[in-house]
Amino acid sequence: MGELHEKYLRMNKMPHIWCAGCGNGIIMGAFITAIDRLGYDKDEVAAVSGIGCSGRITGYLDFNTIHTTHGRALAFATGIKLTKPRLKVFVFMGDGDAVAIGGNHLIHACRRNLDMTAVIFNNHIYGMTGGQFSPTTFKNKSATTAPYGTTDPDFDIAQLCIGAGATYVARGTSYHARLLTDLIVKGAEHPGFSVIEVITHCPVNFGRRNNFESPAQMLLWQKEHGVAARKAKAMPLEDMEGKFTIGELYRSTEIPEYLEEYGRVIQAANEEKQP
Amino acid sequence: MAEAKLLSGNDACVQGALAAGVRFFAGYPITPSTEIANAFARELPGRGGIFMQMEDEIASMGAIIGASCTGTKAVTATSGPGFSLMQENIGYAAVAEIPCVIINVMRYGPSTGLPTSPSQGDFMQTRWGPHGDHPVIVIAPYTAREAYRETGRAVNLSERYRVPVIVLMDEILGHLRERVEFRDEDLVQEINRKGPDPDSTFLPYEYTEDGVPPFANFGTGYRYHITGLIHDETGFPTNNPVEVDRIMRRVNEKIELHRRDIARTQFVEVDDADILVVAFGSVARSAHEAVRTLRQEGKAVGMVRPVTVWPFPDEDIRKAAAGKKAVIVPEMNLGQMVREVERVVAGTVPVHALNRIDGLLITPQEMRDLIEDIQ
């Protein structure tokens, strides 16, 4: 791993701002491992992020990086990919970033199927602002904006993306780090819009308020509640209560990639120009 | 050149942008700017460009910033409600110094307002829309011919100074079709942003003599970081008060440093005038007509028209107003530019506001009536 750090991270920006025990570093490690396996040239990778703890990842990655506005990373990324399609574009967002303030951009990015990979850090809380509940916080949890417990139902990000038309959707965790690398590699290789939801842990602003005594305990929770998608299919529904599927959840190659489709527009425009 | 065309202000904007090398447009439909999106959708794909209809104006603004990062000249167009939604990302472009152009075809507001009626209610918003001190250039054409030339100039200024430039139109100018005869001076040249010097170390936000750092397009071998956090010359976040003060002064002052190149003001029969009208956009068409007819009657009236409205042409207005009996500022709002004029003349000349907020253009007759009252 040390070698990969030197190769893909801006080591002069260390130490990072993430709290001790945070899952974000595990995701960053899985990501650079995936990039190394994919063999991408660093100059040909664009990393785009939103605002929040997850958004800080672009400061540490040694690629073409842009830290955008809250919720809008996908909009910026769309402009980058459309105008320089040879760049490999990765978009990093948190749960509040991707499905609260940026929910509209997420569903439309899924629908368009432009060849980019979104990695969503789902720690079920607004960490940077100090522990407010997000659209993925489960019911009856404690948050600074829910001192009497949360009442809102939560989003299933992966299912939301499948419903909106993403052509590759997977879910990993910060516990299953090797699986996460595999999923990022597959998502990047998929020709279309891919989403990797990562269940991760925020010990300081979620765990502390919700009876987790340590980051390790939160990782164990992921281990115990994440069920391989293939295994889950064979399980009775009631056994999945409170659990979530991990692995590749959806893949389709039937829907054309956006720029491929746009090629038809260019062709039609050029034909019209002919005398 | 001398070629005559029938063009609306909206169409002329598109032609001017294309002539300046714009190859990316992202937008969302909204009256009265929609024809701009329609025209880009028709024109861009056959010229190696991309037209993108986004899910809203926030995304449109984000997409043009992203496109600009790869070195592509990018434009969006909108009106009141959409322009309000764009403010956060306009502030981002200003502080991250990403070239881009926003065409705002003003309609009557606030809120949904009168979607098909003109207004000049966004004069202050174009300057102060995003939160925080920030640089911006705003250009307000008043004919279709000028919309062509000035949109081209807007693209070039944004490339040269790494700043968002707003083309401030209104419903009348956007929708009016007129005969446009292009002459040599209308020729739009293509100006590209300054790139890194291959012989020296690249600093993304370097302090240079002209106050404008070189821009490395994404995918050209310079791996660096762009952020809306306040950053130092390396592009990475800083909260060191010395660095913060230094960069934010440079970012804001670069506009003043190049005011001469950015400014454009039209003077009509100003020298021997007793009464001066200061107007911009469609209202200046009425003002021009009022001045013309009053002059025929032997009355000493003149007009100053800021084409570049922000930075506000302080010196031009101060000089033109010096020694006049009165200055009249007609606007289709409750008085926004008049505050700037009052600030500039600082009590040396009486300033009269003429405001109309019923969704209709101020007529030449209304201006004549006020001028005759004052005389």
Closest-CA residue of B relative to A63 is B223
The three-class DSSP label of residue B138 is strand
Check whether B96 has a pLDDT greater than 80: yes
What share of chain A in percent tops pLDDT 70? 99
CB B317 within 8 A of CB B304: yes
The three-class DSSP label of residue B176 is coil
Flag if B219 and A270 touch (Cβ within 8 Å). Answer: no
Give the model's pLDDT for residue A165. 97
Residues 6+ apart with CB under 8 A from B38: none
Check whether B212 has a pLDDT greater than 70: yes
Which CATH number applies to B3-186?
Answer: 3.40.50.970
Closest-CA residue of A relative to B218 is A64
Residue A69 has its nearest CB partner, among B72, B221, B228, at B228
Interface with B, mutate which of A45, A64, A104, A266 (most B CBs under 10 A): A64
Query: How sure is the predictor about A2, in pLDDT bands with cuts at 50, 70 and 90?
Result: confident
Check whether B1 has a pLDDT greater than 70: no
- Average pLDDT, integer, range B2-10: 89
User: Omega of the bond prior to A15 within 30 degrees of 0, cis?
Assistant: yes
Q: What is the ipTM of this complex?
A: 0.97
Which CATH number applies to A2-273?
Answer: 3.40.50.970
* A to B CB pairs, distance under 8 Å: 137
Check whether A171 has a pLDDT greater than 60: yes
Nearest to A218 by CA among A21, A69, A40, A12: A21
Could you give phi then psi for residue B125, rounded to 5 degrees? -65, -35
Query: How sure is the predictor about A273, in pLDDT bands with cuts at 50, 70 and 90?
Result: confident
The three-class DSSP label of residue A89 is strand
Check whether A1 has a pLDDT greater than 80: no
The segment(s) of chain B belonging to CATH 3.40.50.970 are 3-186
Check whether B375 has a pLDDT greater than 90: no
Residue B226 has its nearest CB partner, among A66, A75, A270, at A66
- What are the sequence ranges of the domains in chain A? 2-273
Flag if A104 and B59 touch (Cβ within 8 Å). Answer: yes
What architecture is the B265-374 domain classified under in CATH? 3-Layer(aba) Sandwich (3.40)
Dihedral of alpha carbons B272, B276, B280, B285, sign: negative
Mean pLDDT of chain B: 97
Check whether B67 has a pLDDT greater than 70: yes
Residues 6+ apart with CB under 8 A from B204: B213, B216, B222, B224, B225, B226, B233, B234, B235
| pLDDT one-digit tens code per residue, B256-274 | 999 999 999 999 999 999 9
Residue A43 has its nearest CB partner, among B46, B219, B237, at B219
Check whether B179 has a pLDDT greater than 70: yes
For B195-245, the DSSP string reads: ---TTS---TT---TTS----PPTTSS---EEESS-B-TTSSB---HHHHH
Separation in Å, CA of A84 to nearest CA in chain B = 6
Flag if B50 and A46 touch (Cβ within 8 Å). Answer: no
**Which residues in A241-271 are b (16+ Cβ under 10 Å) and which e?**
eeebbbbbbbeeeeeebbbeebeeebeebee
| pLDDT one-digit tens code per residue, A208-239 | 999 999 999 999 999 999 999 999 999 999 99
Residue B56 has its nearest CB partner, among A68, A104, A268, at A104
Query: How sure is the predictor about B72, in pLDDT bands with cuts at 50, 70 and 90?
Result: very high
The segment(s) of chain B belonging to CATH 3.40.50.920 are 265-374
A14 touching chain B per CB within 8 A? no
Query: How sure is the predictor about A275, in pLDDT bands with cuts at 50, 70 and 90?
Result: low
Flag if A80 and B66 touch (Cβ within 8 Å). Answer: yes
